[in-house]
Amino acid sequence: MIAESPRPSVLLTRRIPSSVLARLEAVCNVEVPEGSRALDEPELARRVAGKQGLISVLTDPVTSAVLDAGTTLAVVANIAVGFNNIDVAHARRRGIVVTNTPDVLTEATAELTWALILTAVRRLSEGERIVRRGQWRGWTLEFLLGMELRGKQLGVIGRGRIGRAVAAKAPAFGMRAVFAARSGRSTVSDELSLDELLVSSDVITLHTPLTQDTRHLIDRRALARMKRSAFLVNTSRGPVVDEEALAWALRERLIAGAALDVYEREPEIVPELLAMENVVLAPHLGSATRETRTAMIDLAVNNVLAVLQGRPPLTPV
């Protein structure tokens, strides 16, 4: 009699929809920590021991220590497009496949980006707070004047899937979209150097991955180059923007406003930004639709099943 192969074990760091979980449990032993709190590095390292698969989220610290603790790990599937929370180089050295979830959250994040743009330039958050405080005294000619988008330039930093999806919607608002060239000048008609984009755009939106080159890409110098009437929007990764520098630029009226969905030290936010009226602050909602989050989880599970069953991953990093 031939012995059956042992079922692979998978660690889930967060609960997932039961319909998707059932597919995973049909072929794997699955561990899901109780509650909704995030696992810190030591606990993640302890729980990953003996597992063949890890399904993580963007706040999980999948460090070299965690990967080394997972001596039997074959795949880490991140439920996110970004993967800066994972030591990918160390995973590669260990022969561990790392996957992400591109494409499925593109439109949701692009829609959220435009929601932030409109909220910032039309000062909707300011207006709602005034109404809720009972301070609105009625319509007047100069009350909460914002900026129209028609005829303005949208500067997109990051020409990936999400950046392109955001730019594709610009004509609906009468805006011209331009992209930051990846290096220096470009001969492409819709690309400008980063410096040219900063000085000429009315709205600048960030869609670049977090790397050593993009950390604090938007610093004091970059903010000082922007128009005083311009708005900055970030739905990429928090550390792309130096938040202390942003608070300084807003305080000194070097730019008109900002809208953020991501932060340097989530969920902490620079206190000065919290007190400012001309900043829209969203709690990392870029992919937060039922349809998108389910599709992200489904793709992560499919990646794990593919690798553990000896097939190529669908979306390897």
266 part of the active site:
yes
Phi, psi of 270 (to 5 degrees): -55, 120
Is 99 within 8 Å of 75 (Cβ atoms)?
Answer: yes
Q: Which one of the listed residues 43, 196, 266, 272 is annotated catalytic? A: 266
Is 272 within 8 Å of 299 (Cβ atoms)?
Answer: no
* CA 216/CA 43 separation, integer angstroms: 30
Residue type, 216: H
Q: Which one of the listed residues 237, 243, 264, 293 is annotated catalytic? A: 237
Task: Please give, one letter per residue, the 3-state secondary structure of 287-309.
Answer: CCCHHHHHHHHHHHHHHHHHHHC
142 part of the active site:
no
Contacts of 166 (CB under 8 A, 6+ apart): 110, 113, 114, 154, 156, 177, 205, 207
Element (H, E) at 238: none
Residues facing 77 on adjacent strands:
55, 99
* CA 79/CA 77 separation, integer angstroms: 6
Residue 239 gets which letter from DSSP?
A: G
- Altogether, the residues listed in the chain come to a count of 317
Question: What is the dihedral angle through the alpha carbons of 308, 311, 312, 316, rounded to the nearest 10 degrees?
Answer: -20
Catalytic residues: 237, 266, 284
